[in-house]
Structure 1
């Protein structure tokens, strides 16, 4: 059998039940993740939030990637201070 005659590989999903959007959201809301407390202090004031979207970028210089929504109530303080 040449490649043009090879049947597609089975994904094994044919017998899997359909998952509704709500079922998916409910399941994902129960997935555990590390929670980090991120704080700042400076001219913009003291502020903090909990974040699960944090990862190490490099150790020289020590750098973290932290995700914070611009619409967050603490975003102005972090932007004004420029530091975590």
Structure 2
């Protein structure tokens, strides 16, 4: 299965940050908890985050079985034998 560069990047970020990504307060974007914690003002634009991806990226990874939605606020990696060909 071929993933886009952005999808691969989202998987790598999730893996490096505890296997989870969280929804940014402004909606439409996802990041990892440490990046969100650096911004105490939730009204800031997502472009100020260290890293983020769109909801479309997350939903594509969920549809492909790489991530699962914990709830609307967070998603987690599905731990399976991911081999380089999957990425």
- The TM tier, using the shorter chain, reads under 0.3
Q: Report which of the two structures shows the higher radius of gyration computed on alpha carbons.
A: 1
Structure 1 or 2: more strand by fraction = 1
Provide the TM-score with structure 1 as the length reference.
0.25
Provide the TM-score with structure 2 as the length reference.
0.25
Which structure would you say has the larger RCO, counting Cα contacts within 8 Å and 6 or more residues apart? Answer: 2
